[in-house]
Chain A
Amino acid sequence: MAETMRQTVATILKSIERYNPANLQTLERYVEMQSRENTYDLEANLAVLKLYQFNPENFNPDITCQILLKALTNFPHTDFTLCKCLLLESVVENETISQIKYLADILEQCDFAQFWNRVHQMPELCNRISSFHDSIRKFVCHVVGITFQTIDKSNLANLLGGIDDVSLKHWVKKYGWKDEGNLIFIATQDENIKTKNITEKIEFEHLAPLMAIL
């Protein structure tokens, strides 16, 4: 069922049909399916926003919110920015949409404490996206992984949205980190953070067009 849906949408997106407002319903249902089943299709979602852009009378704030929240779950990719560029100037004023935009801002600034704080204040919105919290946690783990050598256990639990010990163990295990009592050992960052030597490499391929001109 989900697969047929995906196929149908893929066919729509391949042709000029992507601009046909008659397909909006199918595409919107596809967005809801993504929210429900924890799948993700950026291109289809952008096509929905594009249809809203061309047909403002069909604008659906609820679907738009789901698309934006789904874009959050794909951090650190810039999906959210891409979606934002397609929003009509007028809908940016929408209250819920500005809240989600704020979420994106603080998430990007890695102000995770503040982010979870906000998320907990709007459960009905975020809970509609299945596995929303875990997707964000993946991003948190990504940031922690490139930032910390060791991290305080309670700090990590907080960054992950105040999770309990069992869940914390799960995440630590998943990323291959080591539990060292009060501290979690992440990785030896020494090896990654080195002065980079940027040397200029000139390959024949780069010179060839130049020689052709000269």
Chain B
Amino acid sequence: MYSSDDYNEGGYESYGDYEPHTGDPQYDLEYDRSYYQMPEMVKKFLVYFRNMITEGMTFEILNLYENTFPKLTEQYFENTPWPDEKEVAPVVDSDHVFMILYKELYFRDIYARVPGGPKPEQRFLSFYNYCDLFNYILSAETPVPLELPDQWLWELIDEFVYQFQSFAQYRSRTSKLSQAEIEALNSENKAWDVLCILNVLHSLVDKSNIKKQLEVYAAGGDPDSVAGEFGRHSLYKMLGYFSLVGLLRLHSLLGDYYQAIKVLENIELHKKSQYSHVPACQISTSYYVGFAYMMMRRYADAIRTLSSALLYMQRTKQLFSSRSYQNDQINKQTEQMYHLLAICLVLHPQCVDESIQQVLREKNYHEKMFKMQYGDLGEFESCFTFACPKFLSPCPPPIEPGSNYGRDAVKHQTQVFMDELDFYIDNDMIHIADTKVAHRYGDFFIRKLLKFEELNRKLHHIKI
């Protein structure tokens, strides 16, 4: 019986004679074709991985997913993708579900690591693989016998929306695309359509009854009482919940802030709940909610959301997984959230938690806020463009070389935001200036008073 310990206790060493790739793509390609043999270690891993999934050992699956897979990637596939499905299928008896899950990881790995990003065909294949996965889950008459760790389920939904976003951006960089790429893109017009994405997310939400579940949960009841046959299963329940967050993100990318916020009704962001144990999901939710509130001009709400999320992150930093690509993402999002908070606090001055204030006083936020307080519109714009999500145009025109419509979406949302500022700075000057000045003078006054008091005391001590 094969156990996971083999990986952890020097199991790699014994395969030291495995010949690594040369780094020369041409040579490697030929090598791959004629001599490629899957390392024994990888074979064993795949078999074991599949068994664990079949048996529904979520804890062990999480370990394999979160630790072993990246380790093996580093060890065997540093400069290449994981083995093609044709090579993997015989190893795992062509297990249908396992193959879909494997391909999900395979493509995700390509998106994350291959320089220059995936090729058009790979983007399409990845899309159709997601279709297979969601069809399997959604079209079943009874809940499918599949259990995956929540961490994976979250990353699955998050990645699905990410790949859509990545496709839209890739497609919009028309000037950089080759003729062959443009032809490939134009010949395939169904993949990564925004309606497909919406459809999948909505279907997952509906199938799981997650909205009703959350409503009952918020009212103190038992969500299982309304969950239905599917929604009681962890797989459906959590996919439904994460799809809500996926919709939040998708709506935000399209500038629909009303729907973005509405989709989350009945979710209590700042409370611990049975749904809130995936940190990356929590952070992402807060970021998009905070952003949507800001765009809706609900600054107080935005500040509350952002500062409590940032506080949570300050306090739980050590808990985050050490996988570096995820940390990069979290760090970037943290920085974006501080920028959003800085903008909101300039427009709507108020007290926030001291440890957050501390960060805003340090670093370069202080200078940025100072500039914004003095109405430097350029500073507003640069903070906004740094902190905003990468907006998308939902309806790309047919591709013609030279056009560059992708940036328009960002420009448009930035413009809407900048329009907002005009009013606050130019025309409602009294309101803002008043709050700020009072604040500063208050501080100043108290400091002077303290100094004066100290002086007074010293004077008393001086004996003449």
Contacts and interface: CB of A to CB of B under 8 A. Distances in A.
Q: Is the interface of B mostly helix, strand, loop or mixed?
A: helix
Given A54-B195, A109-B423, A213-B315, A85 B395 contact: no
A16 B256 contact: no
Contacts of A89: 393, 405, 408-409, 411-412
B258 A92 contact: no
A85 B351 contact: no
Interface in B186-227: 194-195, 198-199, 202-203, 206
Contact of B296 (A19, A53, A81, A109): A81
A85 B257 contact: yes
B413 A56 contact: no
A108 B419 CA distance: 11
Nearest to A84: B416
Contacts of B335: none
Contacts of A85: 255-257, 295, 413, 416
Contact of B272 (A19, A78, A209): A209
B254 A53 contact: yes
Interface stretch (A42-50, A134-142, A172-180): A42-50
A39 interface: no
Contacts of B256: 46, 50, 85-86
A42 B412 CA distance: 21
Contact of B297 (A16, A19, A53, A78): A78
A22 interface: no
Contacts of A78: 296-298
B420 interface: yes
A53 B198 CA distance: 14
Interface string A75-103: 00010011011111100100000000000
Interface string A108-138: 1100000000000000000000000000000
A212 B272 contact: yes
A62 B395 CA distance: 21
Q: Is the interface of A mostly helix, strand, loop or mixed?
A: helix
A16 B259 CA distance: 13
Interface string B229-246: 000000000000000000
B456 interface: no
A19 B351 contact: no
B394 A54 contact: yes
B215 to A, nearest CB: 14
B198 A108 contact: no
Nearest to A195: B438
A198 interface: yes
Contacts of A15: 202, 206
B364 interface: no
Nearest to A214: B315
Interface in A191-214: 198, 200, 209-210, 212-213
A18 to B, nearest CB: 9
Contact of B423 (A82, A108, A209, A210): A108
Nearest to A209: B272
A55 interface: yes
B315 A46 contact: no
B403 to A, nearest CB: 12
A105 B258 CA distance: 21
Interface in A10-53: 15-16, 19, 42-43, 46, 50, 53
A16 B408 contact: no
B26 interface: no
Nearest to B411: A89
A109 B427 contact: yes
B199 A81 contact: no
Nearest to A90: B408
Contacts of B259: 46, 50
Nearest to A199: B351
B14 interface: no
B316 interface: yes
B296 A16 contact: no
8 contacts: A46-B256, A82-B296, A84-B416, A89-B393, A89-B409, A105-B419, A212-B272, A213-B315
Interface of B: 194-195, 198-199, 202-203, 206, 254-259, 262, 272, 295-298, 315-316, 350-351, 393-395, 405, 408-409, 411-413, 416, 419-420, 422-423, 427
A-B pairs, top 7 by smallest CB distance, nearest first, are A85-B255, A89-B408, A89-B412, A109-B427, A16-B202, A78-B297, A82-B258
